[in-house]
């Protein structure tokens, strides 16, 4: 700790602590899991961020997923500028909303209709509501370590920030609000069968991150997603893929394209806003038609379909082609190979998990398939690794339980520099 001078950041953080709870507007940013203090960003461009003290970092936070084209992409900035000149919000339908809806439906064939909202949290909350309205059932199955935003009823074993702070169930959520939430281990087929058996004809939905990226990163075992598709169909429950993180990242059609399994509903956010606040949920026409004003399920938003967010998101989606995913896959493979070699040379046992441009380095010699496995990672070691990387000019998420993100602005030379920094950081960590 303390390799780089961060005087201005430290002063800002002291001031922030007086006026903002924990000094941050989202808990994981506060560095509590790794110790020390966060730096404050002055500006960002491509894969780089500069803090207010002038230090430069290669960034793997990527604004927690959205920045697939890197920061401040000139085409996205221009789209925002020109949209802003026509007005920042109308509360009246605008053409960009229609364009965005068709882009999502074209890229993700399981989505026949889609509604925009303002965050991934809202998308998940509304998807659950419409699934309940459609099935006229109450219960929802979710998985340990999967995060679906800070929705009351889903804030159970939720990974991410909640995990980092060791109270997976938030205070302020009455037990009655989660009594319809059934929590099951990820990748555990028998547990899902048992949950359906114990709640016959009352499961409205199964919601999951098809590739969980909020407890670090782990992958669905072969056949797990297909099994969920089959059992939900047999049981008359709605299968919801929360692709807020994986949508347009693991493929243009998201994890569902990559793994070849089509859910009934999908939640989006992050990338589809091009860096502006956004969320969306969509899917089968008959289910989406339950929403007001067509049906009885209420959902609304003053800023939903906001023209700035639509303009930024449309350009972000238009710039995603096959070559994007090839590029990201190559960069990911280079990082994976380099990291494994660096860890081996340093004699530090790691599990480097990767899916396309998402990755996580766990400090354990045991394979990671679920939350319990992820929890075995040596978090002290992660904290020391994190700070050494930061002092080496590499910005990773300040928690073991977060995924890292590559963007198209990373170059093979950036990856090489990152691997060199990792090799130095890992040496002597064992
Ligand atoms: C980020 C995330 C959310 C929440 O989105 P917000 O925009 O932060 O509310 C929900 N689900 C998943 C899988 C996410 O990664």
Choosing from 65, 126, 214 the residue with most ligand 1 atoms within 8 A of its CB, the one to mutate for a pocket test is 214
Catalytic-residue membership of 60: no
347: Cβ contacts below 8 Å, ≥ 6 apart: 430
Is the pTM value of this prediction over 0.85? yes
CATH code for the domain defined by 7-60+321-426: 3.90.1150.10
Q: What is the pLDDT along the chain (430 residues), one digit of tens a residue?
A: 457 899 999 999 999 999 999 999 999 999 999 999 999 999 999 999 999 999 999 999 999 999 999 999 999 999 999 999 999 999 999 999 999 999 999 999 999 999 999 999 999 999 999 999 999 999 999 999 999 999 888 887 776 555 554 444 688 888 888 889 999 999 999 999 999 999 989 999 999 999 999 999 999 999 999 999 999 999 999 999 999 999 999 999 999 999 999 999 999 999 999 999 999 999 999 999 999 999 999 999 999 999 999 999 999 999 999 999 999 999 999 999 999 999 999 999 999 999 999 999 999 999 999 999 999 999 999 999 999 999 999 999 999 999 999 999 999 999 999 999 999 999 988 7
Contact at 8 Å (CB) between 120 and 244? yes
Q: Tell me how far the alpha carbon of residue 428 lies from the centroid of ligand 1, in angstroms.
A: 36
**Catalytic: which of 113, 270, 325, 370?**
270
How do residues 337-379 score in pLDDT, each as one tens digit? Answer: 999 999 999 999 999 999 999 999 999 999 999 999 999 999 9
DSSP class of 46: B
Task: Say yes or no: domain 74-318 is CATH 3.30.420.40.
Answer: no
User: How many Å apart are CA 394 and CA 290, to the nearest integer?
Assistant: 47
Contact at 8 Å (CB) between 228 and 192? yes
Catalytic-residue membership of 147: yes
DSSP class of 159: -
Both structure tokens of 198: 């114990």
Catalytic-residue membership of 242: yes
Neighbours of 65 (CB within 10 A): 23
Is the fold of 7-60+321-426 the same as that of 74-318?
no
Q: Tell me how far the alpha carbon of residue 414 lies from the centroid of ligand 1, in angstroms.
A: 27
Q: Where are the domains of the chain?
A: 7-60+321-426, 74-318
3-state secondary structure 258-304: HHCCCCCEEEEEHHHHCCCCCEEEEECHHHHCCECCCCCECCCCCCC
Residue with CA nearest ligand 1 atom 5 = 120
Q: Tell me how far the alpha carbon of residue 218 lies from the centroid of ligand 1, in angstroms.
A: 17
Contact at 8 Å (CB) between 352 and 419? no
User: How many Å apart are CA 22 and CA 26, to the nearest integer?
Assistant: 9
Side-chain half-sphere exposure of 314, counting CA atoms within 13 A: 19
From the list 76, 57, 54, 74, the residue with the least C-alpha distance to 66 is: 76
């Amino acid at each position: 700790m303390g390799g780089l001078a961060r005087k201005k950041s430290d002063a800002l953080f002291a001031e922030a602590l007086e006026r903002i709870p924990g000094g941050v507007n989202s808990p994981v940013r506060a560095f509590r899991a790794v110790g020390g203090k966060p730096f404050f960003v002055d500006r960002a461009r491509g894969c780089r961020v500069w803090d207010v003290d002038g230090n430069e970092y290669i960034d793997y936070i990527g604004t927690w997923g959205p920045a697939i084209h890197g920061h401040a992409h000139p085409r996205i900035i221009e789209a925002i500028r020109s949209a802003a000149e026509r007005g920042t919000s109308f509360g009246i339908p605008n053409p960009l909303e229609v364009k965005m809806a068709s882009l999502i439906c074209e890229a993700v064939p399981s989505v026949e209709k889609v509604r925009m909202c303002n965050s991934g949290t809202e998308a998940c909350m509304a998807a659950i509501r419409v699934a309940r309205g459609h099935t006229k059932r109450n219960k929802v199955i979710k998985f340990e370590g999967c995060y679906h935003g800070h929705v009351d009823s889903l804030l159970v074993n939720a990974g991410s920030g909640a995990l980092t702070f060791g109270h997976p169930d938030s205070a302020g959520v009455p037990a009655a609000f989660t009594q319809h939430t059934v929590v099951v281990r990820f990748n555990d087929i028998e547990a899902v069968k048992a949950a359906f058996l114990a709640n016959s004809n009352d499961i409205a939905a199964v919601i999951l991150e098809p590739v969980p990226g909020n407890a670090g990163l782990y992958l669905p075992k072969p056949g797990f997603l297909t099994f969920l598709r089959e059992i939900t169909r047999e049981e008359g429950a709605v299968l919801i893929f929360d692709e807020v993180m994986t949508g347009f990242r693991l493929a243009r059609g998201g994890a569902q394209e990559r793994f070849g399994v089509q859910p009934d509903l999908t939640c989006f956010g992050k990338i589809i806003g091009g860096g502006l606040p956004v969320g969306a949920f969509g899917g089968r026409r008959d289910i989406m038609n339950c929403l007001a004003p067509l049906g009885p399920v209420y959902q609304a938003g003053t800023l939903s379909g906001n023209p700035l967010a639509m303009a930024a998101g449309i350009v972000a989606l238009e710039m995603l082609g096959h070559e994007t995913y090839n590029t990201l896959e190559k960069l990911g493979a280079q990082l994976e190979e380099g990291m494994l070699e660096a860890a081996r040379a340093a004699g530090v046992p790691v599990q480097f998990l990767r899916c396309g441009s998402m990755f996580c380095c766990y400090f354990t010699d045991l394979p990671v398939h679920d939350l319990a496995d992820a929890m075995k990672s040596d978090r002290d070691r992660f904290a020391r690794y994190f700070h050494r990387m930061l002092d080496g000019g590499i910005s990773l998420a300040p928690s073991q339980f977060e995924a890292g993100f590559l963007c198209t602005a990373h170059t093979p030379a950036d990856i090489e520099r990152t691997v060199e920094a990792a090799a130095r950081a890992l040496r002597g960590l064992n």
